[in-house]
Amino acid sequence: MKRLLFSICLFVAFFMFSCGNTKHDLNNINGMNAALTENPADTAARFARAKYYQAKGRNDSALADMQVLVKTDSLRPDYYLTMADIYLAVNQTRYTRKALQRAISLNSELESAHMKLAELYLYVEMRQDALNELNEVLKRNKNNPKGYYLKGMIYKESGDTALAISSFITTTEQDPNYALAYEQLGLIYAAKGDKRSLDFYTNALRINPKNSLTRYNIGYFYQSSGDTANALKTYRELISIDPTFANAYYNIGFILFELKNNPKDAVPYFLQAAAAKPGYIEAIYMSGLCNERLGNKELALKDYTSALRLDPNFALAQRAFERLGGKL
């Protein structure tokens, strides 16, 4: 009896040692390293460490651990999904594809693998392959909003705006809070000059009120439509929320200069645009143009000189500099 109990305990100890060590905390790197030092075959510790390295951007170390794991067990799809993410992070698209295809070969119903492969195909502009993967996903799960969103992006990039609109609308039907789909619908309708774009942008902003780009797009639609009052109002709201959004300052300056014939009030906005985005050559040039119109020749020359230092071939600044008789 004692011999039997000893054999059972020995088996249990061996099993625990081979499949994972519970003595160490696998929520921190020290615990992972200690577990692997004690038992290099501890797959749980190695997988945890690979994930840790991946999160820290240490992709070479993460990949080294994953390569050990797939040699130990080549039949786990989650290993290949992790490897695919790591390969994509270092722009190894060929190996990303192979890892995802391996995961799918192990489990053809793995939705996340098909989705990742579709995104990869979209990234490398293999649109038909991307559609094939998305159709495979949607065949099994008709309620996947991201699947419809990605189809919309494929159709949009292919120039088929009707199918793109249909896909983005379906996305919002599956998930009424899918802000990116509303944003894309806003962009498509704005390109047509259709005021419905404002409804879609407003929905996107409702979901993500801090999205500066959405707010800017609303302002730009007003500006493009000739509604300068609402454009200025929207841009000013934007810079009060996000003082770093250089294009909003620039557009306010442009409206004041070009449409309101008010170069004096426009100058500070062009300067703020240049301050928010160093090297913003167009803003510096426009400041010079305002100063020139105001008769501030020296200030104008200073702006044009600054622009030409950034780009000696900037034709507008060259002509303006020569027009004022500047000498480098």
Q: What is the DSSP string of 159-192?
A: T-HHHHHHHHHHHHHH-TT-HHHHHHHHHHHHHT
Phi/psi region, residue 175 (left: phi>0; alpha: psi -120 to 50; beta: rest), is beta
Give residue 51's pLDDT: 95
Tens of pLDDT, residues 102-157: 999 999 989 999 999 999 999 999 999 999 999 999 999 999 999 999 999 999 99
Contact 82, 106 (CB under 8 A): no
C-alpha distances out from residue 282 to 59, 98, 287, 304, 308, Å: 39, 45, 9, 10, 11
pTM as predicted: 0.81
Tens of pLDDT, residues 11-58: 334 334 444 444 777 888 998 999 999 999 999 999 999 999 999 999
Q: Which structure tokens are listed for 150? A: 């990605």
Give residue 124's pLDDT: 92
Give residue 72's pLDDT: 92
Helices (H), the chain: 2-19, 29-38, 43-55, 59-72, 77-89, 93-106, 111-123, 127-140, 145-158, 161-174, 179-191, 196-207, 212-224, 228-241, 246-254, 263-276, 281-293, 297-310, 315-323
Tens of pLDDT, residues 269-316: 999 999 999 999 999 999 999 999 999 999 999 999 999 999 999 999
Q: Which structure tokens are listed for 12? A: 């249990």
Structural domains of the chain, ranges and CATH numbers in brackets: 210-328 (1.25.40.10)
Give residue 126's pLDDT: 95
Average pLDDT score, the chain: 91
Give residue 328's pLDDT: 63
